[in-house]
Amino acid sequence: MSRIVWSVGVGGLVLALLAAPWISRPEDDIVAAPVTAEPLPEHAVAPPTAAPPPPSQAEELPPPHPDAVASSAVRSSSPLLPPETSRSARRWPLTSRSLHKLPEQRQRIVSALRGRYATPLERRDAVLAAFESSGESQAEWTRQGREALATWRARIEEQVLPIRAEPPRCYAAGCVTRVTFPDPASYEEARQRVPLLELTGVGPHMQLPPEYLPSGEVSVSWAVLPPER
């Protein structure tokens, strides 16, 4: 799917989800003085120009803390989750040290979301592959995962319009389903509701980037993560 709430929405799955602000350089703010239209007299001599002062030596600063470098690098590139990730997913830590504190299966999902890809669909495929690689699961929580996805679908059909949905598939890392909207307009309306969606009995939820089909339909994957212990 082209975006996650990208419900991480990205929110977002989770994954809740998210561009670095441009910082203007000092020289970009310089205002050029207007050029006079009056010519100088023939014998007028231009006043000597003073030599520019030598550049001041930059003050040496101590090297940044490793965590600050990791956190800064993440913020300056791509956000942890796409715009569709859920608000709960947005609370996931950005630093590498904090990432290692997450359960192993959740680490895989977050790492897939944070990767660099040429297209949104490549990101979607990487996240889906991370779910599948965790192995199928029939754990007790998966019943709640299936119910949460059914609730998600019911809310969209109640507030937007009916959609087609494939049976959910549950893995150790989360439960996933694929839904299809009849057109981009209905998908966009549903997408905007993902960050506000509240699901009980599960962890963060996300909507992966959409795929716009030749038929005019829009296919997108929804996912919910296991509840946090």
For 133-192, what is each residue's pLDDT tens digit? 999 999 999 999 999 999 999 999 999 999 999 999 999 999 999 999 999 999 999 999
Residue 175 belongs to what H/E stretch? strand 174-181
% of the chain residues with pLDDT over 90:
52
Please give the residue that has the higher pLDDT: either 190 or 87. 190
CA angle 206, 200, 180 (to 5 degrees): 40
Q: How many CA atoms lie within 13 A of 88 on its CB side?
A: 18
Range list of β-strands (E), 85-210 = 164-165, 169-171, 174-181, 205-207
pLDDT at 58: 41
% of the chain residues with pLDDT over 70:
55
Domain boundary assignment for the chain: 1-18+67-229
Mean of pLDDT values over 94-103: 56
Model-level pTM? Answer: 0.60
Average pLDDT of the chain is 71
